Amino acid sequence: GDPGARVAHGPGDLSDPREPAALHSRAAEALGGRLDILVANHALSGSDGDLDTVDAAMLDAHWAVDTRSVLLLAQAHARHRAALEPGTPGGRVLMMTSGQDIAGGMPGEIAYALQKGALASITRSLATTLAAHAVTVNTVNPGPVDTDYLTGEDYDAVAARFPSGRWGMPDDPARLLAWLATDEAEWVTGQVIDSEGGFRR
C-alpha cells in the first residue's frame, strides 16, 4: 500500500436506511470529492439460527445490514459516478459473500446465508447496470478467515480442512480485492470469485 495515502474514518449505523448514502457522501468529501472504489466488507454477525430457531427479527436484522445497506451503498456509488464526466475510468464495486452456495451451505445461519446469497445473486445485475458508468462489480467469497472468532479445538478443526493446514488470513482476500480494484482488472465484472485456499467443506 501507499504509506502516504489519505485515510478517513467515521461511524455509520448501516441498519439505518438513510446511512449508506450519507456514509458514501462523507467518504467522497473526505477523499477530495471523487470516490472510485467501493468495498462493502461489513456484515451482521450472530443473531441467527437454523430453520427451526430463526425468527422474523433475525431475518429483518440481517436483511438491513447484510443486503439492504450494500445495495443502497451501490446505489449511492452509481449516482456519484453518473455525476462524473462520462467514461471516467476506474469505478469499482466489490462485495463480500460467504460460501453459502457451496456444498451443504450454512444450515445453522439461515438469515446470514440468505442475505449473502442475495448479494451473490445480484452481482451480475449490478454489473450490467453500472457498466454504463465504467464501473465493474464483483463479489468475493473469502472462505474462513482468522479474525479471532474461534479458538481451541474448533479453530484446529477448521484449519485441518485447508490443504495448507492454516486458516485464511485477512491479507489473503485483501490481495484479491486490491487486484480487482486495479486497472488490470477492468475486464473482470459480474463475477462471484471463490478465494478460499482450497477449503474443504
Residues noted as catalytic:
112
- The grid cell for 21 is 448514502
Rounded to 5°, the CA angle 102-165-48 comes to 40
Inter-residue contact 97 to 119 (CB < 8 Å): yes
User: How far is the CA of 118 from the CAs of 42, 45, 66, 115, in angstroms?
Assistant: 15, 17, 9, 5
Q: Quick check: 195 and 172 in contact, CB under 8 A?
A: yes
**C-alpha–C-alpha distance, residues 83 and 91, integer Å:** 12
Count CB-CB contacts under 10 A for residue 29.
11
